Every structure is written in C-alpha cells, then in structure tokens.
C-alpha cells in the first residue's frame, strides 16, 4: 500500500452533537455526514483536557499536558521534545500548517517564530485570536502580516488547496493541517449568510439548560450552527478537491475538534469542564484504502493523545517511546480494539493566584481536577478529594451528582482507585501547577490595540 497523504481538518470549539449525523434536527452538515457515513466515525471521542492549547500540544506530541508542559492557554510550548510535523518531515512528507496556532504564547494575531513552528515546512497562520471577518496571517518565516478581502475560513481553505496542489507536483506525500477558528466565538464575526442562517426558534436544546436562559442560549446556538455550517462548506470544498484530483482514496482525511462548548448547560459556558458538552468531540478518520466501508466505533478514545500515534502508524512512521496515546488503526480496521484503554483521562491543572491575576476565567483554574470517564461512569476529584460521580449509563445528561449518594459508595471507591492507578501510569501529580503569568501577556484591550496596529500594516493578499 503506498504511503498516504494526510489532511487534518480541525474546527475550534465544536461540540460532538452539533451535526446532522449525530442527531441534531436543525443544523445542516452534509460534508461531515458524508465522511461519517463512508469513514470511521468514533462516536465516543473525548478530549482529556478540554482547552485549546493543551489539546494542541498533545496533538503535536502524543503526550498529556503535564508531560508536554502546556498546562493552560497562552504559554509557549517547551521545545525540547519530539513533534509530529518534524517526524513526518524526516520520513519524507511535505508538511504544512494553516490557521490559528496558539502554541508560542505571544500577542494576538502575531508572527510565529520559526522555532515554534515545530518543523512544518510551510506555515500560513498566526499566533492566536479570533476575527474571521478581518483576519491577518503570516507566511513561513516572513514577519510581514497579510490580510484578505475574503472570509477567513474561505481563504484558509484556498491556502490548503494551493499547498496540496504544489505538494502533488513534487511527488512527495503531504501532511496538511488546518485549524479553522470557527465555531469559536465571536459568533457575530460572520457574513449575514451564515450569521442569520438558522432562526433561534428552530433550535432544540437539552433540559440541562435552566428555563430562564433558554431564549438567550437558543440565539447563541443558532449563530453557532451557522459557523458550523461554514466549516462544513469548507470541508466539502476540500473533499471535492481531493476527489477531483483522484487522491481521496489515498488520503487519510481526519476531522476533529479540540473541545466542545457548554452553551449554558449546567449553568456553564465555553469549555474547561468535565461535562459531556465540553469533552465530547467529533472524530472521523476517512481512509478508503484501509477501510473501504464506513463504520461507527463506540469505544472511548482520546484524540488529543491518540491522533499523533495514529497518523504515524497509518503512514508507516515509527511511534516514539515518549508517546502516551494509542494508535487507532486496529479499531479502524476491525471496528474495535481490545488493547485500547477502557477510559478517557481528564485533567485541569492548577493555576496560581499570581497567574490568575492576568489570565481569563477559562484559563484560571485555582483548583486542580482529575478524573476518569468510562462507558458507565464519570468520576472527578478536585484537589485530591471526590467531587463528582455521574452514572452516565442511566443519566447521560449528567444531571445527578451521585458522589455523596449512599447507593454509590462502592462505585466511588472503585473509581477513586482506578483514577489513582491512572495517575501513576500517566506520571501525573496533583502538585503540577502554573506558577507564574505568561511573559508579556496581553489583556483584551492590549490585544485589540496590537491587532488594529497589525491589521493597519497588513498587505492585501495577492
């Protein structure tokens, strides 16, 4: 079998349940649904650290946050470790990254220094931030910012297609990875076509949202759906291009997100939560050369650490001993893999008061959390003490915390024992923490000022 191309499509902050194929009756996602039908759809993919930067670092290293050093958002990743793009480049792949990066710390919409591009041959993106109507980006090691008159996800797709087209002409296989900022907020940073696509009164919400918040959350979800459909439109463009070029069967096409969006469930918003809405993410791997027919895989998997070894395995590249995740190749072929863990680990790392003084609420976790999600239970500890137990087999909405329920005493003890065994196996420790603020961190006002200055000197895309 020839070495496949790899294209990873990564929308930021997309819930698992917000696709037609996952059962949402309102949102339209024909591009994703096609992949889910014809590829391998991992229906129980949960990210172990539901926050942007820790997921990105795990994707690049195959290790958990406490090992790779990315404990929360906005810090630079330690460079003394093994990274996926560098390994793929050494194996003869032409590699490219496109979109938001968020692994070098730094300012909003800033240039990413070459050493923090982690070995990608081509890099068309920016440090961090979300402005889809008036975005900026940089090319490779050129610090000159560029802008486009097109909508950000549309010109990012153009960049990926151009990269793949040029890679094909060289005869070398390619690894392309694109991170769309959508459907992450701001939800109004969209053309009217997407912003007004779904009426709020058509949205159906779960009963984990309190009645007084329903109208507000329906409006939020309707705009969120519009951004998801925009991502789906770009996914269809990419899939159609691969098909026209005759290389869809020879390409590992992966669709995944870093975490979900609480959308008001349990009174919470955005991410950084152990609940289903934040941890459960879409994950489809489409590779017809290996799996000619679509299938659902209901095993628990963690794409944050599992995707690096999976990509290496599918491409015939040796998996480093440092990797903590597991290849999903056998599960793709057979529909299951008994050697995979029967749980997904969960962690939020403590952030000191000094760091919390400058970071946003999503990054500011004053108390560490660790947990395990199995097919039957979700168990979480805070500061080393039992905090939550949900019987997800009977209570999939995670509405009833059973941690102090006398009927679940034995379950709490069993899950606690399993959690501590997992912490030992993963070399995790409650003492890990973010001790100091990120160097040169910008607050929102400073970030907006820097962005405006950057946009003003950006060259218009040719």
Q: Do 270 and 382 reside in the same domain of the chain? A: no
pLDDT at res. 363 = 86
pLDDT at res. 362 = 80
| CATH number for 355 | 3.30.1120.10
Q: Are strands 174-183 and 142-147 parallel, antiparallel or unpaired?
A: unpaired
Q: Do 319 and 451 reside in the same domain of the chain? A: yes
Domain count, the chain: 2
pLDDT at res. 23 = 94
Is a pLDDT exceeding 90 seen at residue 360? no
Is the Cβ–Cβ distance between 436 and 356 less than 8 Å?
A: no
pLDDT at res. 2 = 82
For residue range 414-438, what is the model confidence (pLDDT) as tens digits?
999 999 999 999 999 999 999 999 9
Whole-prediction pTM? 0.97
* Mean pLDDT computed over 152-175: 97
Q: Do 72 and 167 reside in the same domain of the chain? A: yes
Q: Do 251 and 395 reside in the same domain of the chain? A: no
Looking at 44-53, 149-158, 288-297, which range is the least confident one?
Answer: 288-297
Domain of 356, in residue numbers = 344-434
Q: Do 400 and 454 reside in the same domain of the chain? A: no
| CATH number for 456 | 3.40.720.10
Q: In the predicted model, what is the mean pLDDT of the chain?
A: 96
For residue range 209-266, what is the model confidence (pLDDT) as tens digits?
989 999 999 999 999 999 999 999 999 999 999 999 999 999 999 999 999 999 999 9
Q: Do 285 and 334 reside in the same domain of the chain? A: yes
Q: What is the three-class DSSP state of 428? A: coil
Is a pLDDT exceeding 80 seen at residue 1? no
Q: Do 303 and 350 reside in the same domain of the chain? A: no
pLDDT at res. 173 = 98
Q: Do 165 and 277 reside in the same domain of the chain? A: yes
For residue range 366-420, what is the model confidence (pLDDT) as tens digits?
999 999 999 999 999 999 999 999 999 999 999 999 999 999 999 999 999 999 9
Q: How many CB atoms lie within 10 A of CB 165?
A: 12
* Mean pLDDT computed over 116-135: 97
pLDDT at res. 72 = 96
pLDDT at res. 69 = 98
For residue range 276-315, what is the model confidence (pLDDT) as tens digits?
999 999 999 999 999 978 999 999 999 999 999 999 999 9
Q: Do 396 and 382 reside in the same domain of the chain? A: yes
Q: Do 364 and 337 reside in the same domain of the chain? A: no
Q: Do 366 and 310 reside in the same domain of the chain? A: no
For residue range 306-352, what is the model confidence (pLDDT) as tens digits?
999 999 999 999 999 999 999 999 999 999 999 999 999 999 999 99
Q: Do 326 and 357 reside in the same domain of the chain? A: no
pLDDT at res. 76 = 97
């Amino acid at each position: 079998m020839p070495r496949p191309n790899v294209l990873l499509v990564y929308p930021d902050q997309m819930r698992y349940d917000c696709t037609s194929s996952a059962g949402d009756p309102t949102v339209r996602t024909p591009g994703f649904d096609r992949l889910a039908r014809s590829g391998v759809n991992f229906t129980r993919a949960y990210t172990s650290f539901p926050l942007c930067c820790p997921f990105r670092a795990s994707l690049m290293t195959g290790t958990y946050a406490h090992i790779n050093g990315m404990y929360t958002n906005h810090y630079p990743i330690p460079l003394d470790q093994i990274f996926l793009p560098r390994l793929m480049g050494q194996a003869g792949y032409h590699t490219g990254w496109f979109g938001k990066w968020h692994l070098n710390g730094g300012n909003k919409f800033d240039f990413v220094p070459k050493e923090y591009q982690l070995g990608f041959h081509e890099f068309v993106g920016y440090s961090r931030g979300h402005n889809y109507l008036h975005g900026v980006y940089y090319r490779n090691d050129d610090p000159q910012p560029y802008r486009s008159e097109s909508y950000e996800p549309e010109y990012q797709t153009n960049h990926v297609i151009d990269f793949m087209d040029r890679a094909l002409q060289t005869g070398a296989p390619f690894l392309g990875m694109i991170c769309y900022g959508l459907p992450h907020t701001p939800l109004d940073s969209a053309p009217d076509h997407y912003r007004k696509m779904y009426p709020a009164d058509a949205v159906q919400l779960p009963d984990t949202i309190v009645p007084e918040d329903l109208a507000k959350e329906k409006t939020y979800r309707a705009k969120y759906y519009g951004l998801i459909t925009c991502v789906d439109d770009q996914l269809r463009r990419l899939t159609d291009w691969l098909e026209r070029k005759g290389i869809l069967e020879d390409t590992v096409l992966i669709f995944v997100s870093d975490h979900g969006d609480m959308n008001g469930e349990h009174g919470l918003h955005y991410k950084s939560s152990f609940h289903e809405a934040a941890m459960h993410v879409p994950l489809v791997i489409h590779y017809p050369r290996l799996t000619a027919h679509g299938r659902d895989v209901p095993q628990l998997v963690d794409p944050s650490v599992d995707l690096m070894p999976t990509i290496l395995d599918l491409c015939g590249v040796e998996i480093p001993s440092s990797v903590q995740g597991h290849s999903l190749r056998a599960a793709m072929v057979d529909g299951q893999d008994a050697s995979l863990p029967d749980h997904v680990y969960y962690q939020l790392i403590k952030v000191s008061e000094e760091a919390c003084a400058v970071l946003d609420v999503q990054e500011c976790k004053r108390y560490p959390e660790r947990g395990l999600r199995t097919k039957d239970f979700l168990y979480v500890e805070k500061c080393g003490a039992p905090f939550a137990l949900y019987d997800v087999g009977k209570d999939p909405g995670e509405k009833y915390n059973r941690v102090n329920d006398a009927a679940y005493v034995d379950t709490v003890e069993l899950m606690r024992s399993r959690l501590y065994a997992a912490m030992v196996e993963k070399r995790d420790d409650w003492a890990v923490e973010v001790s100091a603020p990120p160097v040169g961190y910008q607050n929102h006002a400073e970030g907006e000022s820097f962005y405006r200055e950057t946009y003003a000197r950006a060259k218009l895309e040719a």
